[in-house]
Every structure is written in C-alpha cells, then in structure tokens.
Structure 1
Amino acid sequence: MIAGIDHFVLTVRSVDDTCAFYQRVLGFKRVDTPNLPTALLFGTQKINVHEAGHTFEPKAKTPTPGSADFCLVAARPLGEICASLEANGVAVEVGPVERIGARGPMMSVYFRDPDDNLVEVSEYSR
C-alpha cells in the first residue's frame, strides 16, 4: 500500500538556524514558498520546517522542538558525511556503528541538530 516517505515535519525553535544547519552540514536545499512551510529538499524527499508557535494545520497533537529521531540514507560515502560533521563542529554521538535498516545492514553515525533532534545518517553496504 505504501511506497515510501514524501516528507515529514520538524518543529523547531528557529527556521533560519535549522535550515542553515542542514544546508551547511548535509547539503540540503532550502525552499521558501509564500503561505507554505519552509522546506528542506534532499533526494526525492523533503522536511517541512515549522517554527514552534507558528505551525501549519493540520499538525501533530503536541509539536515540540527536539522530539524527533530519524534516519537519513547517505548519497555519499559515510566518511564524507563524517568529514562534513567534523568540519562544521558537529559532534558525533555514536558511530560509525553497524545497524539494520529497512533494506538490510548499514553503517550509521548519530548526531544532534540545533534543536537536539537525534539525526542518524546511514550508508547501506554496497
């Protein structure tokens, strides 16, 4: 019935700070469209970014900055992701470590964004 994820929403303290982080560290593209949430594009997906207190309807029951925990699939070798994290002063909390994802074994690193959301970036075994 379901083929994949189109987008998800992050509720954040500052749209500008969050977008700048994901653009700088992971190369996402920011898209601002009047009367719509700011979006961060990557691959064929996006993250809609809502600022706490200024969310769009419909929304989660209790949208809260820092409550997300998600995994992104790397388009480049995990070593490049780790180098970008280090170059941008982002501390790796865990990893690289082996995990099992939806498509099988993968290597992952975990870090926090400006709102302390837990971000996992993974590279599947080739």
Structure 2
Amino acid sequence: MIDHLDHLVLTTIDVDACSDFYTRVLGMQRETFGAGRLAFRFGNQKINVHVRGHEFEPKAHLPVPGALDLCFIASITLDEVIARLHAAPWPIVEGPVQRTGATGPIRSVYVRDPDLNLIEIAEHLPVG
C-alpha cells in the first residue's frame, strides 16, 4: 500500500537557526510553498517546517521541537560528510559507527540540529 515518504514535518523554535542547519550544513534547498510556508527539499522528499505555537492545521497531537530521530542517506561519502561537518563547524555526537538501515548495512555519524533532533547521516555499506 505505501510506496515512499513524501515529506515529514519538523517543529522548530528558531526558524533562522533551523534553516541555517538544513541548508548550509546539510545542503538541502530552502523553499516556500502555500501561504509562505517553509520547507527543505532534498531529492524527491522534503521537510516541512512548523514554528512552535504557530503550527499548520491539522498537526501532530503533540508537536514539539527535539522529538525527531531521522536518518538520511548521503549523496557523498561519509568521509566527505564528516569533513563538511568539521568545516561548518558542526559537532558530531557519535560516529562513525556501523548500523543497519532500511535496505542493509550503513555507516553513520550522528549530529543534533538546533532544536536537538537527532540526525543520523549515513552511507550504504557493501552487503556481506
């Protein structure tokens, strides 16, 4: 029944800090849609942004900043990701470590965005 994820919604306290992280640090594209709503696009997916206390209806039952734990597969090597994070500079919370992704083994680093959501950035590893 379900084919793929179209978008998810992130609740932030600070739109500017959030935008800086997802665009400058992670390289996503900032876009506006609808009546001035904000989103970050990457590939065929996007992250829509709600500002805490000014959420778009309908919304999650308890939309709070810092509640997300997301894993992104990088379009560059993990070593290049690490170099980019160091250049940002953006602290790595953990990694690189090996994990299991949706389609097999991955190698990951973890960071926190400005709202303290846990962000995992990974590369696929060969199977076997």
Find the aligned partners of 2:118 and 2:37 in 1 and give their Cα distance.
22
Secondary structure of the residue that 1:53 maps to in structure 2? coil
Give 1:1-126 correspondences, 5 Å limit: 1-35=1-35, 37-126=37-126
Secondary structure of the residue that 2:121 maps to in structure 1? strand
Find the aligned partners of 2:36 and 2:69 in 1 and give their Cα distance.
24
Shift of 1:109: 0.5
Identity among equivalent positions (%) equals 49
Find the aligned partners of 2:7 and 2:33 in 1 and give their Cα distance.
16
Secondary structure of the residue that 1:5 maps to in structure 2? coil
Find the aligned partners of 2:65 and 2:73 in 1 and give their Cα distance.
22
Give the alignment's TM-score, normalised by structure 2: 0.94
Find the aligned partners of 2:58 and 2:36 in 1 and give their Cα distance.
12
Shift of 1:34: 4.4
The runs of 4+ residues in structure 1 deviating greater than 2 Å are none
Moved more, 78-87 or 28-37: 28-37
Give structure 1 stretches of 5+ with no counterpart. Answer: none
Shift of 1:88: 1.1
For this pair of structures, how many residues does the alignment match?
126
Find the aligned partners of 2:81 and 2:71 in 1 and give their Cα distance.
13
Alpha-carbon deviations, 1:21-58, whole Å to 9, x = none? Answer: 11111111000124153000001110001110111011
Mark the CA change 1:101 to 1:3 in structure 2 (over 3 Å): closer, same or farther. Answer: same
